[in-house]
Amino acid sequence: MIRRIHHAGIVVERLATAYEFYRNVLRLPLLREADIADQGVRAALLSAGDSEIELLEPTRPGTGVARFLEKRGEGLHHVCFDTSDVDGELDDLAARGIELIDREPRPGLAGRIAFLHPKACDGVLVELATPPSTDDGDEQSPVRLKRLVIGAHNPATTSARFQELFGFPEVAINSGPRSMLAVGRGTLLIVPADEVGGSQGMVALSLVADDFFDLMERFDRAQVKAMRGSGEVTVEPESSHGVHLHISRYE
Ligand code: CO
């Protein structure tokens, strides 16, 4: 049973530089930072409401994360779903012939984790995690992750795939050939790739800021490049380490 979006994983060149935006400007509290030797990364988890943001800095060449950075630059890398039983979830997926990267869970920053093959989810790299039971996750964050936007050639097919794999219920929306799925209190919004510059896979994050006007002042001071509306702002990827971020004042 998937309980929530645990985190969105973002590959960055250097954690210290990414902290200037994610910790100092957005004010996401740092929960943990550690070297994950087998993945060749130094990783950090920042609290973002019900979910978290994971920043990943490659520490040696030749790893998946290092190759991603070389090929595509900084940006969204994977999404992690929180499950109470990662072992059972993997057994079930394996029994159904779903392509997995990890057949057995291993220790990660989010707890016991495992990756599915991106082919299994129409190009989206999905991680499953069972966090340690001591995880409080209660750190107050002024900015909360609400939604992950996914580009797909056929949104209905990709949506059906996520529903079939993880049992996410569809949320009714009336905006053309899009599909929205509920994951705990967060959502996945699957849109036609044409609407997002032809991009397939993870394309953007939507967040809600409780301190929107203070945040805009911090954007000014830090000279964050962004397109501003009255109650929402879209951060230019060059200011947010390759990630399209939509931040709004309201839920
Ligand atoms: Co992760």
213 CA to centre of ligand 1 in angstroms: 30
CATH fold for domain 2-130: 2,3-Dihydroxybiphenyl 1,2-Dioxygenase; domain 1 (3.10.180)
User: What is the tens place of the pLDDT at every residue in 50-88?
Assistant: 999 999 999 999 999 999 999 999 999 999 999 999 999
pLDDT score recorded for residue 46: 97
Residue 145, pLDDT > 70, answer: yes
For residue 228, give the 3-state DSSP assignment.
strand
pLDDT score recorded for residue 251: 77
181 CA to centre of ligand 1 in angstroms: 20
175 CA to centre of ligand 1 in angstroms: 31
- Nearest-CA neighbor of 202 among 114, 123, 134? 123
Using the 8-state DSSP alphabet, how is residue 24 labeled?
I
CB 93 within 8 A of CB 114: no
Per-residue tokens: 195: 């609407």
Residue 204, pLDDT > 80, answer: yes
- Nearest-CA neighbor of 156 among 138, 179, 174? 179
* Cα angle: 42, vertex 184, 163; to 5 degrees: 95
Residue 105, pLDDT > 90, answer: yes
45 CA to centre of ligand 1 in angstroms: 9
Percent of the chain exceeding pLDDT 90 equals 90
220 CA to centre of ligand 1 in angstroms: 31
Phi and psi (nearest 5°) for 244? -75, 115
119 CA to centre of ligand 1 in angstroms: 17
Q: Where in the chain is the domain with CATH 3.10.180.10?
A: 2-130, 143-248
CATH fold for domain 143-248: 2,3-Dihydroxybiphenyl 1,2-Dioxygenase; domain 1 (3.10.180)
User: What is the tens place of the pLDDT at every residue in 18-55?
Assistant: 999 999 999 999 999 999 988 899 999 999 999 999 99
